[in-house]
């Protein structure tokens, strides 16, 4: 049986235990109904226990996957650094000249990049001259930590309220 079926059956049996509204009589097979309810309650406990075990298993799998992701991420970064070091050694040894190494060719390409030495001065100039598309301003964002402190101090902040909830977890 599925959990919802067990719950529905228990509910039906509990309704069958209620006294008749017209006569006030209690059902004659009251002991049988109570025994069925107890059996279903045990089935329900078994199902809930199984679901809890399943949730803990999934939690352990997620934890293992995160650890594996971190391990692979660290390994990838290590390999990228190694690659950069090897290429810098090749660059140093070939002296900036295109070199055919048999299995590969070390080539050079010109590239340009923008480097900002004094960000404040640059932004001020860009603002004065109307180049607003050349810089970004982060959108205002509410700090829930500090707004929470205001609410705790008794301040009324329009559009903000403290909500209390319940969280559920397994250990």
Per-residue pLDDT tens for 86-135? 988 988 888 888 888 888 888 888 877 778 888 888 888 888 888 877 77
Buried b (16+ CB within 10 A) or exposed e, 42-81: ebbeebeeeeeeeeeeeeeeeeeeeeeeeeeeeeeeeeee
Q: Do the Cβ atoms of 53 and 9 come closer than 8 Å? A: no
pLDDT at 171: 55
Mention every residue, 6+ apart, whose C-beta is less than 8 A from residue 144.
none
Query: In the chain, how long is the greatest CA-to-CA distance?
Result: 105
Model pTM? 0.56
**What are 42-100's pLDDT values in tens digits?**
999 999 999 999 999 999 999 999 999 999 999 999 999 999 899 889 888 888 888 88
**What are 9-20's pLDDT values in tens digits?**
999 888 888 887
């Amino acid at each position: 049986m599925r959990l919802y079926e067990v719950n529905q059956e228990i509910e039906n049996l509990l309704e069958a235990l209620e006294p008749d509204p017209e006569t006030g009589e209690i059902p004659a097979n009251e002991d049988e109904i109570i025994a069925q309810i107890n059996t279903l309650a045990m089935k329900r406990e078994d199902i809930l226990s199984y679901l809890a075990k399943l949730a803990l298993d999934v939690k352990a799998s997620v934890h293992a996957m995160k650890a594996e992701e971190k391990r692979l991420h660290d390994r990838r970064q290590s390999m990228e650094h190694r690659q950069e070091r090897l290429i810098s050694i090749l660059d140093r040894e070939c002296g900036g000249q295109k070199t055919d190494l048999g299995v590969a060719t070390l080539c050079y390409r010109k590239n340009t990049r923008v480097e900002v030495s004094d960000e404040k001065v640059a932004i001020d100039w860009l603002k004065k001259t109307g180049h607003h598309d050349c810089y970004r301003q982060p959108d205002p964002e509410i700090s829930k930590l500090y707004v929470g402190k205001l609410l705790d101090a008794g301040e009324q902040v329009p559009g903000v309220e403290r909500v209390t909830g319940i969280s559920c977890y397994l250990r």
